[in-house]
Amino acid sequence: MTYSKMLSLRFPPSAVNEPIIANLIRKFDLNCNILKAIIYPRKEGMAVIEVSGHRKNFRKGLHYLRGQGIKVESIGEDIKRDEEKCFQCGACTAVCPTGALHIQRPAMEVIFQKDRCSACELCVVACPARAMEVRFNRSLVE
């Protein structure tokens, strides 16, 4: 049975230079779509990935990630935009990895398409008006 999940991975500095995602694909036969990957100044990293594959492989892959000291969370979808606060500046569209926030031409309107949102929270930090709100429903993956 194919299984698919949006995951947030937090890498310790020791794992940042390891070919973790390549191993998930090669060793565990999983499909990984990297939506965002960042390395922070103190050398920790984070990535938002969509993983799919056989459930058994998914579990093995998860076990491998934890063995590398990576914190794995599944991502919920409780993000909303406060339309009163949003002043359509477009800053969020530059950071949104999924295209959920995008500019619609020719009106140049900033659209929030909730069904494409992975709840990665990158727009929350980027928005100068604090219009993007997250309900915290991350959960550790079983």
Q: Who's near 105: CB < 8 A, 6+ residues apart? A: none
Least separation, in Å, of the C-beta of 99 and ligand SF4? 8
Q: Among 2, 55, 87, 109, which residue interacts with ligand SF4 (rule: CB under 6 A)?
A: 87
Least separation, in Å, of the C-beta of 55 and ligand SF4? 25
Residue 98 binds to ligand SF4 (criterion: CB under 6 A): yes
The DSSP letter of residue 115 is: G
Residue 131 binds to ligand SF4 (criterion: CB under 6 A): yes
Q: In whole angstroms, what is the distance from residue 25 CA to residue 48 CA?
A: 15
Q: Who's near 52: CB < 8 A, 6+ residues apart? A: 2, 3, 4, 5, 30, 31
Binding region for ligand SF4 (CB under 6 A) out of 23-31, 54-62, 66-74, 86-94: 86-94
Closer CB to ligand SF4, 37 or 86, in the complex = 86
